[in-house]
Amino acid sequence: MEITIVYFEGCPHAELAERHVRAAVDEGAEVAIRMRMVDNAEQADAAGMHGSPTILIDGRDPFSRPDEPTSWACRLFETPDGFDGAPTTDQLRELLKP
């Protein structure tokens, strides 16, 4: 499995997203985690970014709607405790279950 966190420079939530992803991955699991910084809207579109940060699991953004356009903007995620800059570790664990 490959998890890519797509973000732009200065994103206040990229590090939070990375911490939550790393905490959600089971120890010993074969998962590659990459950080991918994009520099402009065209790169964001090509990367499938729906706001910064975007978490792609095997190339798919499980937190976006199928018809949602790409976005060069900050992103918030709906969590059980309200909106936050990254999904919770538990939300990510659910998505990563085999």
Length of the chain in terms of residues written: 98
Q: Is the dihedral of CA 33, 38, 41, 43 positive or negative?
A: negative
Topology at the third CATH level for domain 2-96: Glutaredoxin (3.40.30)
pLDDT tens-digit map of 8-37: 999 999 999 999 999 999 877 899 999 999
First-to-last alpha carbon distance for the chain, in angstroms, is 10
pLDDT tens-digit map of 52-62: 999 999 999 99
Q: What pTM did the predictor assign?
A: 0.94
Give the domain ranges of the chain: 2-96
